[in-house]
Structure 1
Amino acid sequence: MESANALIEKFSRHLREGRRRSQHTVRAYVTTAERFCAFLTEHLGAAVTIKQIKALKQADIRSYLAFRRADGLTNNSAARELSAIRSFLKFVGGDDSQIPKIKGPKVTRGVPRPASPDDIVAIAEDIAENANADWVGARDWAVLLLLYGSGLRISEALALTGNALPLSDTLRVSGKRGKTRIVPLLPQVREAIEHYIDLCPHAMMPDHTIFRGKRGGPLSPNLVRRVVRQARTKLGLSDKTTPHALRHSFATHLLAGGADLRSLQELLGHASLSSTQVYTAVDASHLLDVYQNAHPRAS
């Protein structure tokens, strides 16, 4: 019989290697899983087994949340722990797992502000964890990291075609009014896109979009907006946290990190920068240096 500790170790490896989650998320989810199993041992009066975990009911999870509340857990923290528990239960139960449906606690809205890198990653990870297929989760994870990591408009990201493959450390993007620019591509973002492509059941063709819907057509921006809205509600983030806001966060964080305004305008592809050949106004290698020095997740 597999012990809870062995199961949690497998869960940790699944998050790191299978889901490619950040160290922060792996640590938080594993800590919650350890705390949850320790509670269940007391709650059930015996060592926790896979069979018992699969048989858990709403009441068991509610009991755990009540136990945590007694330790002073806030609504926002409880929502995050519930998300971690759902991920753990899905891992234990596999694709056919029946996770007890439980409404999360009401979360408070903070003062609107640019989303922090950790919040952005938390949204992307929550969406990926709750997708109904691994390739869909990998797709949504890659799209959101691309919006924040390269400052793209959602229309620009979803318009990328197989002509952009194989990926390098830059992307050529066609923006508004057909203007083209070069944007840097973080290794983490490139790996996320490549991981999605490996899992995607639809063939990548030069003239077809990279990001696809379930039936193989172009991914709808409204679908991306909807899953972001659902995730930010569960995580207690501001209503201002939208896919387009990730582009604003990209700009805000680069400026805060010391990027000069002209380079930032080049990266964003703003029409006010130049009327022709926007991406050639500043040397692409210089843009990459500015980006790597200023972006909070570039190291």
Structure 2
Amino acid sequence: MTANGPLALAPAMSDALARWLEVEAGTRDRSPHTIKAYRDDLLAFLGFLGGYHGCPALPGTLAELKQSDMRAFAAAERARDLSPRSLARRQSAVRSFLRWMADREGFDASLALSTRSPKYQRSLPRPLAPDQARQMLDMAGDGHDTPWIAARDLAVLTLLYGCGLRISEALGLDGRAWPFREALTVRGKGGRERQVPVLPVTHQAVAEYLRLAPYPLTPDQPLFRGARGGRLSPGIVATTMRQARQALGLPPTATPHALRHSFATHLLSAGGDLRTIQELLGHASLSTTQVYTGVDDAHLLSVYRAAHPRG
């Protein structure tokens, strides 16, 4: 038996975990990344129970869980330096699994489910200011000696900022997506599709890259190519951003994902409503989008303090 891992699971519990993950993936539209995280969370929990009670966890073990068991698990995870935010996510996955098991096996899990998750301060996104975003794009467009690569880098970053895409969404586009129409169909987390308006400046940047690119554009090949013709790597885009931000004196938070944050924050500052921004970003929950209201409030407060230092 291991202290934390699949060897600590009895076959019945292993089967139950696999079934729950299938249900989460199939009926709740969870992404493969989320399913993997859930699996890791539950393996940690069930592995802990195996070591804590001295025998592999069984459905009957879950039926007898108390608050003391859940607190002991939380303490063990904190001792491993798991952050409050990660622990809260892990406990959320555990509670979802316990509810499902309680319904399936017919036991009362209320004692275990009543344990509170740790409080944590959700960090605010770190967007770029509008002028910083423009400078970043200008720098990226001039940042490579090979013209088509410079045009490619500018096109990718313009797409991230102009459409609010995740880097994986932008680099996952194939040739069949071109030419862009007024709206681009994007497949995001959990396979959810959304329509994102395409600004003329974004269309022009991608068109210029394709005009200069040495590789033919075909429906089944990547839209954005690396120097050798394969699909462009996120690491290359991150390197482009790092070089540009260093040249501009911007902080390390100026990453490709910061352009997505900038897209959302600048829309909100211009009067965009949260529901629309949620749809454009592809967030499953409005609460995820609401974090940008904190960014906007923080910006207004900083402006106020600069104008009224005695306030």
TM-score (normalizing by structure 2) = 0.51
Query: What residue number does 1:145 align with?
Result: 158
**Paired position in structure 2 for 1:164:** 177
CA contact (8 A) 1:162 1:206 kept: yes
Question: How far off its partner does 1:182 sit?
Answer: 0.3
Question: Residue 119 of structure 1: CA displacement?
Answer: 1.2
Match of 2:237 among 201, 218, 224: 224
Partner of 2:204: 191
Q: Mapping of 1:262-277 within 5 angstroms?
A: 262-272=275-285
Match for residue 261 of structure 2 among 248, 255, 266: 248
Contact 1:175–1:269 (8 Å) recurs in 2: yes
State the alpha-carbon separation in 2 of the partners of residues 125 and 154 from structure 1.
19
Please give the alpha-carbon distance, in whole angstroms, between the structure 2 residues aligned to 1:113 and 1:216: 33
Contact kept? 2:143, 2:244, Cα under 8 Å: no
Alignment of 1:1-299 (within 5 A): 113-272=126-285
Q: State the superposition RMSD in angstroms.
A: 1.6
1-structure distance, mates of 2:248, 2:156: 19
Contact 1:121 1:145 in 2 (8 A): no
Separation (CA, whole Å) in 2 of partners of 1:255 and 1:178: 26
- Structure 1: 5+ residue stretches without partners: 1-111, 274-299
Name the amino acid aligned to 1:198.
R
Q: CA deviation at 1:272?
A: 1.9
CA distance in 2, matches of 1:187, 1:161: 20
Deviation at 1:227, TM superposition (A): 1.2
How far apart are residue 167 of structure 1 and its match? 1.6
Q: SS of the counterpart of 1:194?
A: helix
SS of corresponding position for 1:173: strand
Report deviation, 1:250: 0.6
Q: Give the letter for the 1:132 counterpart.
A: D
Report the number of matched residues.
163
Q: Measure, in 2, the Cα distance between the counterparts of 1:148 and 1:210.
A: 17
Measured in 2, the distance between the counterparts of 1:226 and 1:198 equals 24
Given that residues 171 and 232 in structure 2 are in contact (C-alpha distance below 8 angstroms), is that contact kept between their aligned partners in structure 1? yes
Identical columns (%): 54
Larger Rg: 2
Contact 1:156 1:173 in 2 (8 A): yes
Please give the alpha-carbon distance, in whole angstroms, between the structure 2 residues aligned to 1:123 and 1:252.
17
SS at 2:181 equivalent: coil
